[in-house]
Structures are given as structure tokens and as C-alpha cells.
Amino acid sequence: MTKPIVPESIQNEIVSALAPMKRRRFLTIAVHGLLVAGAGSLVSACTESPVGDMDAGKALSSSQMAFFQRLAQILLPTDGTEMAPLESVPVLRNLDEMFNGMSAQIRSDLGKAIDLFECGGLVMGWNFSRFTRMSEQDAVLYIDSWQAGHPVLLGIATVLKKLVYAAYWRDARTWGALQFAGPVSETWGLPSLGEAPLPLLQKV
Amino acid sequence: MMLKVTSAADVTSAHIDLDVDAVIIGSGAGGAVMAYELAAAGKSVVVLEAGSYVPSTQFNETFPDMLELLYEEKGNQATKQGDLLVLQGRCLGGSTVVNGCVTFRVPDFILEKWGKEYGLTNLTPEILSPYFEKVERNLSIHINQPHEINENSRKLEAGARALGWSVKPLSRNIKDCALTGHCLSGCKTDRKQSMLVTYLPWACHHGAQIFTDTFAARIVTENGRAKGVQATMVDPVTKHKVADINVKAKVVIAAAGAVQTPLLFLRSEIANSSEQVGRNFACHPSTMIVAQFAQDIFTWRGAMLGVYVDEFEHPDKGGFVLEGGGAGPIELGMSTEPGTGKAYLDFMSRAKNYASCISLIHDHNVGRVSLVDGEKQIDYQIADADFPAMKAAFKAAAKIYFAAGAERVFLPTGDKRVIESEEQIDTVVDGIENHPFALRMVSYHPQGTMRMGSDPAKSVVNPYGETHDVKGLFVCDASLFPTSIIVNPQESVYALSNYIADRILEDANDYFA
């Protein structure tokens, strides 16, 4: 197991701040937990400043697109591997489409999670840097520390990772490296069996 | 082949009024069987399905696309805290369209418990057996033949045999399986005997009408008797209302599943004198354990589910089963935590070398489905009392895989937990604590929110499927189960729905006069 680099004192502050709260959703709890733990102004400042100059998508803002671009680079370092190059797979477009199909509530929760993850390094783990500006090595350690931390942090890191992985592997160009054939029924020329014949009327 | 249904695109009138013998809400395992049995007996039947009609020609065998097309909330339906996905079909045919085809009868020891603890002495193996036999015939249910057991399942089988543990081929409702491995994306060639190709067209043949894109808002009652349903037809693309549908019916049957059925009752503010509507939610929280082998396995090739280890099925022996279940790259890539960046790609580069199995536990009914500010909420955290079963399942799976020659085993945890040798199994597994996001869990088997029982103070529905409070109002989906049944529930729902249909027809003079 990776050792948490988020100081226990801060984690404990978050946990104790969470205890009396009765919010409906864990991501909301997480954001408020950090605010109560004294990081509110930093998080707020962080989310207000632009990270990159990327175009906004249908559902993702410009800064969210930049965030996911950096997260994908850290999670999927395909250079020197047999995997489909990250640049050849429309991960950001796929993520944007996935977000576009989610309910407003889930999108809102994930937006808060992204803000928290992006800015958490300013107040936790002695990084003093937002996630998108960390070196590759620091970014990996930062992610691992979240997954070894409080369940709320673990949950956020896990969800963000899954989103990026899904956006990458759903593209057919990534399957060749795994020898995964993808859809086969048409390739194999499989006929449809159609409706099953009507059964005989039978009483039990 | 196209089913005759009325969807939002077909409707030009803003109001539709129907007057029938029976209205059924939901077209999955329970609703479709009920529709056929009542229609075949000459009753006029309307089925209301909130999802759309997606013909199998639109299935593309790409899991993320099909999650968005065929599943509730596009595959994002989750518990309140977000660490357990509750995957259900939201389409004509419901979850029967997207499941892994695995079929089981309710285990006898579960029926015995239902009889003793919930007064369901009518649901004996002897009484239910003819119903199971009937649906098994109708749905081509058969024990997997050797060619339907792929290399992935053979690893599970070999390991279990080496340890002297009981392992059996699974039964499935499939005809001439083409071994594509894409069950969860819907069966493109209609070999899976889902409700789309069986009971729904059969019900239509006997005159049943099906309305898709139709959300049942409220059940209407009058003087303690069910009178019908108020529903809304919504365009699935624009989300705009197309029509109000009012169905006047002599019998109302809820078959919307263990999440939507209690929500319908709560919205309607009926049949809840016991205050048990929505309570007692269980779901067989399921995880995937992945083992690395030196040789090629290609877990995604062949029939998706082949064998299962039933050595620990009885609660006295552990209360879990392991099913040899394959996974494509998407599922494999999200089922475990092998590390970040290069470590992850290194893990994925060996995808063809992995075997995987699914754990199902006999969880207690500690969850709840409720309305909060008018919105659905699923509360569920695996109980501390159930966590040992989950850990025992991991240990058993790891032992099996090492006995079969695995090099390492990856656990389905939120943080990185890899077992490098048999000696490490206990230490690594015992280190897992029960907290949100500790495990990567999915449920395909929500159950138990409309508990069936003889005591009106402790259950919602009587032993014959009718609500204690409202005459002529029935439930026939997995929400009836008083406890989780530990095994895949679809066949049990088919049989119970048929049983309840027969009870309704036995009293036809009362219900349909």
C-alpha cells in the first residue's frame, strides 16, 4: 500500500468536520469538509483562475478540459508502449460526451470533485501546487496519496481515474494492443434467431 | 423482427385513455411474464415501460455505448455515497436484455427461511417446482455445455477442483449461444432468451398492448381498491412530455424493479401502513477478482459466464458464490487498482493473461430506497456483519487462482492491493476495512424493497403478491424477496410472477368482475 502523504492532522480535521454534517452527497461533503478545514479561500482562488486556454466542450468548461488533459497524460503515459498513443484517441471528446449525458446533479458533484482535486495540492501534502502544474512524478504521488487517504479522497480519485480510463478504452483504436476484437457478430456473420416460437399454453 | 409497441414517436394525441383488465408497470422479468399469462388467459392487458424500445439491431456490442443506451441513468445509477453502481436495464425487456443470462432457482434453504421467518409457507420447493420447470422450458434454460465454458472459467474450475471444492457449470437462458461474450451489451443476434424475444412478443400475440417511453407517475386507488395508473409519455430525445396516459384497470401490477417500484408506491402514498415500502434493500454487492497467469486466457472470449463455485453458498459455510465471469478491457481496466500511470499501463498490457471471477454475497437487507426532495435516493453501505463474507470470498478466489497456477491476484479495492503468493492471502485481505470506496462494487441484483410476508405489520405484500393494504394491487418483481437469495434472481422472478398470475386468475371472478 502507498503511504498517505496528506498529513494525518489535515485528514483528521476533514473527518471531524464531516461528522456532524448531513449532506446528501459525498462530494458536497468533501468540498465543505475542506472549506471547514480552512482551505476555503485557497480552493476558491484556485477555481477562479484559468488553467489553460482550451476550448470548452458541450458539458466541460475550459478549465475542466485542461484538467482532464493533464490527468489523462498522467494516467495514460503511452509513449514507449504498444498502447494507442494518447494523442490519437479522442479522450477529451469522449469525456465531454459522457458528462453531457449525465444528470445535472452528477455533473455538479463531479465539478466540485474536480475543483477539489485540482486545488487540494495547495493545502495538502506539501505540494503547494495545483494538480495540473505538478511534475509527472509529483502528480503520480499526489494521486496515490488520495487513494491511500480518507474515503472521501479515495472516492474522488477513484471516480476521476475511472472516467479517464473509460474515455480511453471505449475507443476501438485502443483495442488492438490488447488483442481485444470488440464487436464480432457482424464480422462473424452471425444470423439473428429472432423471436422464440410461441409456447404451448400450459397450466401448472 | 419488430415488436408492435406504441412509443413517443407514434403518438399525436396529448391525452390517451385506456380501460383494461390489467395494467402492468414494467416490462422486465416480472412484468413480461405477468403480461403473457394474463393475456393468454383472455384478459385485456396494457404494459407501461419507462424505457424505450431498442431493437437488437441497434445493439453494437460496445459496452459504454450500450450502458448509455440501455441502462438506467446511462449506467450511472449509484448509491447515495456513490461507491456502488446499481446497474439495471431501462429499455423494453428491462434487465433481462442486459444481464449475463445466468439462471438459478431460489435455493431451497432460502425458501425454508422465508417460510419460517416471513410466513411464506406457500412458497415450498414442491409448489414452485412446476413454475421453475415451465419457465425453464419456455426460455431454453440449460446447463452450460463444455463448449460454453471458456478458458477463463476453466481456470476457476481447475483451481476449485484442486482444492476439493464444489464447482458446477452455470445454467443460462440462451439458445445456440454464439459465444461473443457481449451479453451485458444486449444480445445482437437474439440468442439470449430475454423478454424482448420471448414473453413480450408472446403477450402481444394474445393482444397485450405495450407503451414505451411511458413513466408511471401514480397508482390510482378508490375505497381501498386499485383503479388504475396515471402515466406520462416522454420523448426520449427531447425529454418533453408527449402525452398523458390514464389507464383504468381492474388490477394494477407493479413490476418496475426493486428501485422504481417502491418509488412509485411512495409517490402514490399507498400501501405503506407497515412503513416498509422502500426498506430492506439488498443487492448482492458484487466485485471482480482478477488473477494473472503466464499463459493467454482472453477472459472476454467465449460465453461470458461458465461455472460457479458453490462450496460456500450456504450462509453457514460463508454465504457467497464465485462465478467465472469474463470482462472486456473497459471492465477489466476499472475493476482493480494496479497503480498509477506506468503501473496501470503495464497491468493493462497483460490483459490477455488475466482470469476473472465475480463474487456475490448473501447480504442482509440493510439498505433503503426513498424519495428525498422528490428525487430517488438509494442508501446502502455494506453491513459490518456482511463484510467477513466479502473478505472470505476474496480469500477463496485467491486460493483457487493460486491453486490453478496464478502468478498474482489483484483485489477489487479502491487502493492498491495485490497478492503475490498464497502465503500473503490472509495478510493482504485482512487489511481491508469496511468503509465507503474501500471496494469496487457493482450490483445487478437489487431486491427486497417491497417485502413479501404474512404479517401486514412487517411486510408490504402478502404471500400471493397482493399488497396487504390495497385490494387488486400486486407486485411481481425482485422487490418481493424478503431476503437476498444469493444467486442471480431472474429465474426466481419469472417463476414468482407466473405463480402470482395464477393466483390472480384463480380469483378472476373477484378481480375482473
User: What is the value of ipTM here, to two decimals?
Assistant: 0.93
**Residue pLDDT, tens place only, B241-266:** 999 999 999 999 999 999 999 999 99
B223: helix, coil or strand?
Answer: coil
Nearest to B306 by CA among B72, B146, B426, B160: B146
Contact call for residues B214 and B245 (beta carbons, < 8 A):
yes
User: How far from chain centre, in Å, is Cα B333?
Assistant: 23
Give which of B101, B91, B448 is closest to B259, Cα–Cα.
B448
Average pLDDT on B339-354 reads: 97
More confident residue, A202 or B279: B279
Q: Where in chain B is the domain with CATH 3.50.50.60?
A: 5-101+194-274+449-477+488-510
Give ranges for CATH 3.30.410 in chain B.
143-174+286-362+383-438
pLDDT at position B193 over 80 = yes
Q: What is the mean pLDDT of the segment spanning B118-124?
A: 98
Residue ranges of A 49-108 with Cβ closer than 8 A to chain B: 74-78, 81-83, 98, 101-103, 105-106
Binding residues of B for FAD: 99-102, 489-490
Q: Is the pLDDT of residue B399 over 60?
A: yes
CATH superfamily of B5-101+194-274+449-477+488-510: FAD/NAD(P)-binding domain (3.50.50.60)
| Mean pLDDT of the B354-382 span | 96
Contact A14, A150 (CB under 8 A): yes
Q: For chain A, what is the total number of helices (H) and then of strands (E)? A: 9, 0
The secondary structure of A80-132 as a DSSP string is TSSSPPGGGS-HHHHHHHHHHTS-HHHHHHHHHHHHHHHHHHHHSTT--S-GG
Question: A153 CB near a chain B CB, below 8 Å?
Answer: no
Model confidence at A204: pLDDT above 90: no
Report the distance separating Cα B192 and Cα B100, nearest Å: 9
Model-level pTM?
0.93
Instruction: For residue B352, give the C-alpha cell.
Output: 490477455
Q: Contact, B97 vs B30, CB < 8 A? A: no
Contacts of A166 in chain B (CB under 8 A): 64, 330, 333-334
Residue type, A173: R
Residue B513 clears pLDDT 90, i.e. is over it? no
Beta bridge partners of B358: B288, B323
pLDDT score, position A174: 97
Residues of B whose CB is below 8 A from A82? 349
pLDDT of residue A122: 81
Query: Hey, are the CB atoms on A74 and B189 less than 8 Å from each other?
Result: no
Domain ranges of chain A: 8-35+57-175
The predicted-structure confidence for B24-65, as pLDDT tens digits, reads as follows 999 999 999 999 999 999 999 999 999 999 999 999 999 999
Please compute the mean of the pLDDT values over residues A108-129 and round it to a whole number: 85
How far apart, in whole angstroms, are the C-alpha atoms of residue B205 and residue B198? 11
Chain A residue with Cα closest to B178: A190
Q: What count of CB pairs under 8 Å joins A to B?
A: 176
Write the CATH number of the domain with boundaries B143-174+286-362+383-438. 3.30.410
With CA atoms as reference, report the closest residue to B149 among B3, B43, B306, B326: B306
